[in-house]
Copies of this chain bind each other. A is one copy, B any other.
Amino acid sequence: MPQNKHASLKDIAAKLGLSIATVSRALKGNPSISQATRDMVQQAAEEMNYSKNFIADSLRSGQLPLIGVIVPHAVTLFYSSVLDGIEHTAAKEGYAVISMNSHERYEEERANVSSMRRLHVAGIIASVTQETTDFSHFDSLAADGMPVVFVARDIPTKTHSCVTADSADAAYKATVHLIKQGCRRIAILCGPNSLKMVTDRKHGYIEALHDYRLPVRPEYVGYTDINAEGATLATERLLALPERPDAILALNDTLLFAAMKTIMRAGLRMPGDVALIGFSNVEYAEHVSPRLSTIEDQSHLMGETACQILIGHIRGNKKQVKKVIPTSLKVRESSCKDAKE
């Protein structure tokens, strides 16, 4: 015999000699159905192991109870944690999560967005790639009535909701920390300016230098694509400057670890010759030697928050929400000039 197809309303109706509509109403506790019938239907449904086929609903509503998530780099503790936060909240609200990885590539991101649209997901949470400078693929979703919330990496457009870290603030604090350690030639290792995350963090860095009357030197702003190779080259360029930086602030995990390796390989002492601090969610930062100072963001909470906002939009809330999640500075060995050396 073929596979046990799930029991349907029709089956229950047939068994009980009722109409499909009555069964449907009884099952959702419609008060216009007599208590006796309701009980009878309830029991039959349980016996037959009935579960509602939500695809039928979806056909009518044109929307599946699914939330689409697009991240640029899924195989990281940061994004897997964001994803877990999203899943957590989504599950509580009756949504499942479909995730896709754009691998930091614009073309893949576009393809992901169109897959999501074809899938008729109820809404999308996205973190853009470092290549993305054109945002029309997202705009067209809005035109279609599919809500979008950006997480971690926002886009410049003003009309979307987003959840981000307190980037400028965190970079400011980290820079001040370095200044207080006696660093005067502080470099920053950046991703592309197309990411608002980057410009925000750079802004915090510059503000701190201004406030402490230190010059902002263009040669100390190292740009790179966000990958290990690029970051290694950019760090090497910084270290080769006539006036070598005495500190580096790295804008994310990838950049931070690449910078660390490059500094060590150059035979420089850390923090003696070059202090290092960076944005990171890698718990291993505290196990490497020297223990790395980091700015941690609350990735899980960012995911949960983004999902809550998105579900709000799905349910009809039109107001955009821009939420900032605090980070925390973890001072460890790599940025402490006065610490044990």
Q: Compute how far the CA of A81 lies from the CA of B64 in the bound complex, rounded to whole angstroms.
A: 27
Q: Compute how far the CA of A75 lies from the CA of B83 in the bound complex, rounded to whole angstroms.
A: 9
Residue among B53, B62, B100 making CB contact with A87, cutoff 8 Å: B100
* A76 CB–B CB distance under 8 Å: yes
Interface residues of A in 45-83 (CB under 8 A from B): 51-56, 58-59, 62, 64, 66, 74-77, 79-81, 83
Stretch at the interface among A17-25, A91-99, A195-203: A91-99
Stretch at the interface among A125-133, A148-156, A168-176, A283-291: A283-291
Point out the residues of chain B lying under 8 angstroms from A145, CB to CB: 2-4
Q: Are B101 and A98 in contact, with the CB atoms below 8 A?
A: no
Q: Compute how far the CA of A168 lies from the CA of B98 in the bound complex, rounded to whole angstroms.
A: 34
Residue among B64, B144, B261 making CB contact with A55, cutoff 8 Å: B64
Interface size class of A (residues with CB under 8 A): 35 or more
Stretch at the interface among A114-122, A209-217, A218-226: A114-122
Asked, given contacts A260-B287, A289-B288, whether A96 binds B75 with beta carbons under 8 Å apart, the answer is no
* A236 CB–B CB distance under 8 Å: no
Interface residues of A (CB under 8 A from B): 2-6, 51-56, 58-59, 62, 64, 66, 74-77, 79-81, 83-84, 87, 91, 96-101, 115, 117-120, 143-145, 257, 260-261, 282, 284, 287-289
Top 4 closest A-B pairs, CB basis?
A: A3-B145, A289-B289, A284-B284, A80-B80
17 contacts between A and B (CB under 8 A): A4-B143, A5-B62, A6-B62, A55-B55, A55-B64, A74-B83, A76-B77, A76-B80, A79-B80, A91-B100, A91-B115, A96-B115, A97-B98, A97-B99, A99-B99, A282-B284, A284-B287
